[in-house]
Structure formats: structure tokens, C-alpha cells
Structure 1
Amino acid sequence: MTKYLITDVDGVVFDRMPLYTRNFSDLVAVFGISTEAAQRYYLHTSGAPITQQFEEVLKKHKISFSTQQLQTLVHDFFHLANGAEAPLFPGVRETFCKIQKAGCLIFATSGSRTPDLEVLFRGYEIPCDLIIGSDEIPKGDQHIQRFAEFVDIPLPEFCRAAAYIGDGPHDMVIATRNKILAIGISNTVDHTHLRASGADVVIANIENLLELLEI
């Protein structure tokens, strides 16, 4: 049985990706980036920290920007998100409860901010042993290292006993780079894109996790 489950948040737990995609394209529209181009870029890089996504989309379109402008984009993005509903995907709470009851620890990694995520997880009573957002440490390898430190075992040992579920290509890249079982869920991009990004397996709904984790 898998001992540790690492989960992305938006696109796996909360169904906020359509909202995030619209907000992202609206915010960069003032720089002259078309809605279609912005939304395509956002979805193809889903799972990455939002600061990185804003920075890279502006550079991709050869747009000059200041540090203050980048910070304002990130601030406005989260301001818009925090004022909106955060619906759960069907079956998430029930599935996570079964996973935790079986003795598997659950870790959440996200490009969003840790305090905001903690409020949401508590409000929806979603079991999770440790939540790390990107307000202090950008989502990526350092989050995996922190999870290993939390259970006080070497990183390679942790990774061998873990599985990582995410809806975005960036999630699959993080998982495969750390030699963690990469589980894609096709809530945001299709299975072909997830497979191309390194997914070992792709599922259509969260309940399929139980069989994969041998629970």
C-alpha cells in the first residue's frame, strides 16, 4: 500500500480551474495578450506557481514588466479567487477520508497561498496532514523535501513510498523528476497531455485513487 499521497489542490480537490483560467486571461489582457493565447498558456502550464506563470507568459510575448507589475498581477489574481466560491469535486472528501483511515498520510502542494488553503481544507473538513502553498516556497521539489522532513525519513525513501496526483503537466513533471508515482486526473487537460508530461497513469475521477493506492 502507498504510505504517502501528495495531492495538488486546484483541479484535483477544488473545481476552481475554469475561474482561474478566466482570471488569468483577464489580468494579462491589459498587456495586449489575447484571451485565447492566455488561456491556452495557463492550461498547458497548470500546476506551476502563479508567479512563474505570469512571468513566463509575459516573457513569451516579449512584454517588458516591472517587479511591481508582477506582484500586482499575483495579488489581484488571489484577490479575485478569494472572493469566489470554491466548489469541491464530487467524491473528494469521502475518498480522502478512506485514504487517511487506511493509514496513508495526505500532503497538499499548491501554487496558491498556504493560509488560504488551510481555511478551505478546514471549512470543508478535508483530511490533510500538511499543506504547503507557494507564498513562501514555490511549488516544486522543495515541497517534496518538506514532506519527507515532516515524516523524518530520507527523501528517496519517501518518494518510493509516495504517489502524486495532479491535474496539470507541471505536477507530472515534479512527480517524475522525484521518481514518485505520477497520477494524472483529467479534470483540466486531457489524458494525452498528462501522459506526454510524464503521467504513469491517468484517471477520470478521484474515486479511482483507492484501487491505485491499494486501499
Structure 2
Amino acid sequence: MTHHADGEVLDEYLVSARSLAEYRAMFHLSDEDLTGRKILDCPGGAASFAAEASALGAEVTAIDPIYAAAPEELAARATPETERAVAWAHKHAERYRWDWYGGTAEHAAIRRGAAARFADDVRTTPHRYLAGALPSLPCPDDAFDLALSSHLLFSYADRLDADFHLAALVELSRVSTVEARVYPLLDYTGAPLDDLVDHLRTELHDKGIETSLCRTGYEFHHGADTMLTLHAAA
């Protein structure tokens, strides 16, 4: 595992609780994107996206290896995992821009609210939450219109190599008929990964998967204002 210049390494993957509002901003999601669409959220973590977007008429499936646990256990873990993620962000506050949230207190409130919504939803509609992990998802080809993936690819480039990234992106493309969107394109310390992004886009092009970069309405890590979009074949 790579040790960064500040000497601190995030040894465990954070299980984050993000809200629909954050997903809208991160992935540049429109009302049309969320209406009557089959959407994959992978990894879903403790996000309330599946619950909130489903309430708007989307058909959301969240996939994450943590969903192998029983719904009651997932619900019980949501708050302590969220507190761990919030504590990490607040401890490293200088790495982030807080203006989208308004400040650290508002950020914590949004994340705690999302965790509570997730906990309620995973208890009442557990069928929305499937155990699985990139780069091999338990889904048939073209199972979704839109696939969303945040804070795994690129975020953990210190432990997930270029081959893993390529396999995961190909898999996201396999299961989506319209687009797959990935955010952010920095690692969890905020370090840019332009060379990796360029390499993967070239590899995907060679496999017949066209990509584009799109500015988002969200920049939490400094410089994390871009998502990678994989387009379905014409």
C-alpha cells in the first residue's frame, strides 16, 4: 500500500452515506435521468440514493460487498460507519472545499441524514441492495440504463491497479445501455491521476467504448470537478 507524503494512509475503505442531492451534483443528474430509469449504484455504501431516487420514480439497484450482511446489521452499521467517514473528512478539512455544504456541520448533518434514510430503506426494501463487487457484477448484460460509481475507482488507486480499473470500467459499460458515470478522478488524498485517466480512456477506446470528461456541479476535494462518462455504442 502506498504511503503518502503526510505519512497517513487510509487503511480501510470508507463506507460513506451520501444523499440524492450529492449524487445529483457529483454525476450531473437531471430529472430525466431519474425518471423511469433503471439505475445501478455501485458501490452503494450507506448512501440514501437508492431510497430517494426510487421515491422519485427511478428503479435503483445498489451493489456493494457489504450487503452480504443481514439488513438489520447493515442498518446498525450505517451510523458508526458514517461517523468514521465524517471524522476522516473533518480531520483532513484542508483537503476539501466546504462551500457546497456550507461548512463541516452541514456536511455532517447531510451524511447523518443519508445514513438514517439508508438504514430505514435497507430494512424495509432489502431487495434493492445486492451483494457484489467490481469488476464482476451479479447482473446480466444491459441490466441498467445508467450506472453510477463514486469514490472507489481512482479514489483508492493506491491499492487498485490500472488493470482493476480497466476491468471495472468495462464491467460498468457491460451492464449499462446508455451511460456509466464515474466520480471523482482523484485519489482520496486529492492527488490528480491524469496519467491513469488518459491510459484508461485509450484502453477503453481500443475496446470500442467511447468516453468523455464532463465538469460537475460539485467539488469537494480540491480539483475534483470532473466525472468520466462511458457511452454506449451507437
TM range (shorter): 0.3 to 0.5
Structure ranking higher in helix proportion: 1
Structure ranking higher in strand proportion: 2
Q: TM-score, normalised by structure 2?
A: 0.37
Q: TM-score, normalised by structure 1?
A: 0.39
